[in-house]
Chain A
C-alpha cells in the first residue's frame, strides 16, 4: 500500500509537546493527557496551557499529578480520522507512562489499521519522529520504510536534558538510576538522557552555563554540520535557556535545521519541573 499524507494520519499524545500539530498538518491529532491540581483535572494544553500551568505551579501548595488518556480518548481521535486508511500512533516511552497501553487498547478495536509505536523517548523527540514520518508521507512511502525509520530513529536520535532539581522526577517515580546522582547543594545540574525508554544519568556539572556547555560538546561530538541535521529544543518556563541553545546551535552547526522550539506542557512539566531544558537531534 502506498502511504501518503492524504491517506495516513499521525496521532501523538500531549507528551510530544506539539500543541500546533493539527494546525500545521491536517492529518495529525494530539490526544491530551490529564494534569490534576487537588481535585480539579485539566486536559494538557487544551484546558491548561504551559504558561498558566507554570504560574500555578509556583503558588500551588501541592504538586500536581498526571494521568494518561483513557482508551476512549484515543478511540475518539482514531474515529475522527476514519477517512484515513492508516494511522501511526506515536507515544511516550511505555516505561514512563501508561499512555501507550491506553492507546493500544483503543487501537485493538480497529483491527490493524492503527500502527502503534512506543517511541521509547519523550517530548520533542516524539514530534521529531512524527515529522520524519510526515516527510516520507508527503513524497509517498510504505509501512516497511516507516518501520525501518522508526528503528533507526530509536537507535540514532539523541536526547539530553537537565533539571533544576531531581525532586520532580523523584516525586513522579520517574527517576530510576538517576536517584544516586542527587546533590541538592552546589547548583548541581545532572545531565540526563532517556535510554531504552528510561531516564538515565550521564554526568553532573555545576551551574546552568556548564550544563549548556555540556550540551554543546556532546552535540558537536555527536553530529556533523549538514542539512539533514535536525534539532529540537524544549524548556520548562526557561525561555532564556532555550534562546541560548538556539544561538549555540546556529554557531556550531549552521546547516542544522531547528525543527521545533517548544515549552514543556503541564504533563511533562509536572515530572521534570520548572527550569528543565531538553535538547534533541537526529540526522535524516
Chain B
C-alpha cells in the first residue's frame, strides 16, 4: 500500500467515526451559540478533506500535506470546522516535513495542531475543543519515545481525550448549566478515535448506545445576539490576515480568520453579512459563501429536542404533510407539522413511506396533508393501511395545505381539526405559474412549449413569455372576489418579483402581501388569496 492510500484509509476511518456521532454532537452544541450544528459542520469539513484525498494526485508527503491543509481550509464549516481546519493544518505541516512517522513525530504533530488551533482564535476559551487538542498533545508528548509504537501510544491519547472532554463542563459554565460536554471537543475526540482504530486496523467503534441525557435547560440557552453565521473564503495575493481580522472584529462575534496570504477562511456571527462580504470582496475573490440564519437553526433544534423530551405533552393529533421545497417545508414546520415528507408533482412518496410516518407519529391520531392531486390517493391508501387512525385532508396544493395548517391546533382531536382545516381550504383561492411542457390550448388559452402558464383554481388563465404578465393575470383572477391577504411562494429559480409586487400594491392598496421563498421545483410561483 502506498503512503497516500494509507492516509486515505485513515481519513476514511476518522470520518466514519465522526459521521456515526454527528447527530449526538449536534445536540450537545451549546457553545459558542446553541445552533446545534457542530457535528454537522465538523462532518462536512472532514468530508471535504476525504473527498479531496480521494481525488488527489499528490505524489510525495509534503505535496499531500499541502493538499490536505487546503482542502480543510476550503471546506471548513462553522466555528468548529474552522478551528478543526487549523488543527489539520498544524498537524499536516509537521507530518509533511517529517522523514518518518513514529510516536515522537505524532506527538510533535499534535503539538503543532494545538498551537495552530490556539492561534486561530482571538480569545481562546478553555473547556472547548482547544482544551481537548491541547491535552491530546500533552499526553502524547509525555509518553512518546522512539521505541513506543504508534499503536501503543494512541489508546492512551484517546483515553486522555475522553478525560479532557469529560472535564469541559468544569471549565465552561454554559456547558455546566446545560449539563453537556463541549460539542466541538466531542467531535474532535471521535475523529481521533477513528484514526486510532484505523492505525490499529480495528473496526470503527459503534456509537455509544447510551444517548446522553439532555437537560431541558439545554434547549433554552440564550440566542447569540447576532443572527447570521457567515462563512466564506477569500482568495488573492498578499492577503493580510491580521488587518482583515481587525476590520471585521467590530461587526460581530465568534470571529475566525485563518489561512495564508493566498487564501483566507472567514467565519463570523453578524447582523450584516453583506458588509462582511464586501470587505472580503475588496481584497480578493470570494468563494464558498455560506450564510445561515442561526436563530432559525436554534428553533429547529429546539423543536427536535422538544420531541425527545419525554414529558412534553403529546398532541391529540399530529400532522404529516407531503411538501416540495425547502422553504415550504419550513413553513409547514413553523406551523406545527410533526413530520414533513419531501414530495409533490413529480416525486410522489410511496404508500409505505407514509404508513411508516403515520405509525411513528407521537400523537394517537394523524392528519395527512397530501398537498397535491397526485398524492391524495397514496395518502388515502396509507391511511387505510396504517395501524393508527389517520385522516386525509384532501389538500390539492401546497397553498391549500398551508391554509389548512394555519387552522390546525395540536390540542384538538382529529375530527375537530379536520373540520376546521377543510373549511380553511374552502376559503382560500389558489393559483400557480408553471412552465408549459408542450404547445397546448387550455381553457381557451394558447401556450407554447417553454412559455409561462398561469392557472387559477386549476384552470388556465394566461400564457406567454412574460412571467410578470402571466403572474399578474393569475393574481387578478384570484382577487376577483374581495380578498385580504395574498401569499406568494417563490420556486427554486427565485424569480424576480419586484415589478410584479409593485403592480399589485398599486392596484390593491388594501391588500396584505406575504412573499415567502418556497423553493418548490417546476412552479416559479405558487399563489393563494384569502
Binding site for B on A (CB under 8 A): 180, 182-188, 203-210, 213
B335 & A186 in contact (Cβ 8 Å cutoff): yes
Instruction: Check: B497 CB closer than 8 A to any chain A CB.
Output: no
* Chain A, interface SS category: mixed
Instruction: Check: B514 CB closer than 8 A to any chain A CB.
Output: yes
B402 & A186 in contact (Cβ 8 Å cutoff): yes
Q: In residues 41-60 of chain B, which contact A (Cβ within 8 Å)? A: none
B516 & A187 in contact (Cβ 8 Å cutoff): no
A204 & B484 in contact (Cβ 8 Å cutoff): no
Binding site for A on B (CB under 8 A): 330-331, 334-336, 402, 406-407, 409-410, 420, 484-485, 487, 512, 514, 516, 530
Residues of B within 8 A of A209 (CB): 484-485, 512
A187 & B514 in contact (Cβ 8 Å cutoff): yes
| Closest Cβ neighbor of A201 among chain B residues | B409
Residues of A within 8 A of B514 (CB): 186-187, 206-207
State in angstroms the CA–CA spacing of A206 and B331 once bound together. Answer: 13
State in angstroms the CA–CA spacing of A183 and B332 once bound together. Answer: 10
A207 & B484 in contact (Cβ 8 Å cutoff): yes
Give chain A nearest CB distance to B359 CB in angstroms.
Answer: 24
Give chain B nearest CB distance to A173 CB in angstroms.
Answer: 13
A206 & B530 in contact (Cβ 8 Å cutoff): yes
State in angstroms the CA–CA spacing of A180 and B408 once bound together. Answer: 12
B406 & A185 in contact (Cβ 8 Å cutoff): no
Q: Which of A182, A206, A208, A213 contacts B406 (CB 8 A)?
A: A206
A186 & B334 in contact (Cβ 8 Å cutoff): yes
Residues of A within 8 A of B402 (CB): 186
Give chain B nearest CB distance to A255 CB in angstroms.
Answer: 27
A186 & B530 in contact (Cβ 8 Å cutoff): no
B512 & A183 in contact (Cβ 8 Å cutoff): no
Q: Which of B334, B420, B530 contacts A210 (CB 8 A)?
A: B530
- A-B interface contact total, Cβ < 8 Å: 51
| Closest Cβ neighbor of B402 among chain A residues | A186
**Residue of B330, B335, B406, B514 with most chain A CB atoms under a 10 A cut-off:** B406
Give chain B nearest CB distance to A146 CB in angstroms.
Answer: 37
State in angstroms the CA–CA spacing of A180 and B338 once bound together. Answer: 13
Residues of B within 8 A of A186 (CB): 331, 334-335, 402, 406, 487, 514, 516
Subset of 30 A-B contacts with CB under 8 Å: A180-B336, A182-B334, A183-B334, A183-B335, A184-B334, A185-B330, A185-B516, A186-B331, A186-B334, A186-B335, A186-B487, A187-B485, A187-B512, A188-B335, A203-B407, A203-B409, A203-B420, A204-B407, A205-B406, A206-B406, A206-B487, A206-B514, A207-B512, A207-B530, A208-B484, A208-B512, A209-B484, A209-B485, A210-B530, A213-B484
Taking A207-B484, A208-B484 as known contacts, 8 extra A-B pairs with beta carbons closer than 8 A to each other, sorted by chain A number, are A183-B406, A185-B330, A186-B335, A186-B406, A186-B516, A206-B406, A210-B485, A213-B484
State in angstroms the CA–CA spacing of A203 and B530 once bound together. Answer: 17
Give chain A nearest CB distance to B123 CB in angstroms.
Answer: 24
4 residue pairs, one from A and one from B, having the closest CB atoms: A209-B484, A207-B485, A207-B512, A187-B514
State in angstroms the CA–CA spacing of A183 and B402 once bound together. Answer: 12
State in angstroms the CA–CA spacing of A209 and B514 once bound together. Answer: 13
State in angstroms the CA–CA spacing of A182 and B336 once bound together. Answer: 9
Give chain B nearest CB distance to A158 CB in angstroms.
Answer: 20
Give chain B nearest CB distance to A247 CB in angstroms.
Answer: 14
B334 & A204 in contact (Cβ 8 Å cutoff): no
Give chain B nearest CB distance to A167 CB in angstroms.
Answer: 12
Residues of A within 8 A of B331 (CB): 185-186
State in angstroms the CA–CA spacing of A208 and B334 once bound together. Answer: 19
Residues of B within 8 A of A203 (CB): 407, 409, 420
Residues of A within 8 A of B410 (CB): 180
State in angstroms the CA–CA spacing of A180 and B485 once bound together. Answer: 24
| Closest Cβ neighbor of A181 among chain B residues | B409
State in angstroms the CA–CA spacing of A86 and B207 once bound together. Answer: 73
Give chain B nearest CB distance to A277 CB in angstroms.
Answer: 15
State in angstroms the CA–CA spacing of A207 and B529 once bound together. Answer: 11
Residues of A within 8 A of B335 (CB): 183, 186, 188
| Closest Cβ neighbor of A210 among chain B residues | B484
Residues of A within 8 A of B484 (CB): 207-210, 213
Residues of A within 8 A of B420 (CB): 203
Residues of B within 8 A of A188 (CB): 335, 406
State in angstroms the CA–CA spacing of A206 and B530 once bound together. Answer: 9
Give chain B nearest CB distance to A210 CB in angstroms.
Answer: 6
Residues of B within 8 A of A204 (CB): 406-407, 409
A206 & B485 in contact (Cβ 8 Å cutoff): yes
| Closest Cβ neighbor of B335 among chain A residues | A183
**Residue of A186, A188, A205, A213 with most chain B CB atoms under a 10 A cut-off:** A186
State in angstroms the CA–CA spacing of A204 and B409 once bound together. Answer: 9
| Closest Cβ neighbor of B427 among chain A residues | A210
Give chain A nearest CB distance to B101 CB in angstroms.
Answer: 53
State in angstroms the CA–CA spacing of A183 and B334 once bound together. Answer: 6
Give chain A nearest CB distance to B108 CB in angstroms.
Answer: 50
| Closest Cβ neighbor of B512 among chain A residues | A207
Residues of A within 8 A of B485 (CB): 187, 206-207, 209-210
Residues of B within 8 A of A207 (CB): 484-485, 512, 514, 530
Residues of A within 8 A of B409 (CB): 203-204
State in angstroms the CA–CA spacing of A185 and B530 once bound together. Answer: 16
**Residue of B330, B334, B407, B484 with most chain A CB atoms under a 10 A cut-off:** B484
| Closest Cβ neighbor of B486 among chain A residues | A207
Give chain A nearest CB distance to B338 CB in angstroms.
Answer: 13
Give chain B nearest CB distance to A48 CB in angstroms.
Answer: 27
A185 & B407 in contact (Cβ 8 Å cutoff): no
Give chain B nearest CB distance to A259 CB in angstroms.
Answer: 28
State in angstroms the CA–CA spacing of A203 and B335 once bound together. Answer: 12
